Structure 1
């Protein structure tokens, strides 16, 4: 059985590492004033410039169910099963939207969605650990159980030069 590992673009891994670990991503939408685009198409440099020029922060919106349907259907053209790592349900609707789509008749039993309870590198660490289990040849059910058991033990930290670009 071919198992795909996926996540939202909030995984924040460089393209080289996404390719190395065979992790596919679905992008969030980024809005900066009148400009809207997909995460990755709008660069961090553009986001910083927008904030510096306007004093406002870019806004992101979770992947909507239609986008998940298209993404999952595309991934399942090359895989039998998907293990998807989602941005924390505590800060986004991404997990809820992905789970809703995973339970649709067309995808039932083909997708497991993991609520990482994390963001950025926390998602990356969990997805990379999953990829290693897949590469070891473990079965889907065992991989999902191991990944879910790891969620409360995954912690990610970061430091900032400035809090200018933080917003709650």
Structure 2
């Protein structure tokens, strides 16, 4: 169940994780990025990250307008949305994961979109794998491909490729 309701924070037990992805609970923050930091635990002892949503760019332009992202968008009347995260390893072990597989975007109808590793003009994307020693930080964008009519509702982030029990959620509406 939600903890820290007024701060836009959602932490779920494993039994509720699937429900959270299909029936989002939307909390607090506004569009553009909340600046709120949510501490998240991974599945292994010592895995901990402080994750901050710092910026949302909607719509985002592909870094290479002639590239595959633009061709895909032209085929289905979609748009790109870029979301910037700051990650800080607050745990006691090395963090190595793909932020792209950790992030999901929810629209106002409850549809869930997986992140892509599509470069945009919004800023630098995360590399395929981010490796952080304890105390280390990284910042970058993940990109989502959404239908033009999709209204942004929330962004979620969970360690271990999105499979950890702790799920951070920021409201975008």
| TM-score bracket relative to the smaller structure | under 0.3
Higher relative contact order (CA 8 A, sep 6+): 2
**Structure ranking higher in helix proportion:** 1
Computing the radius of gyration from Cα coordinates, the structure with the larger value is 1
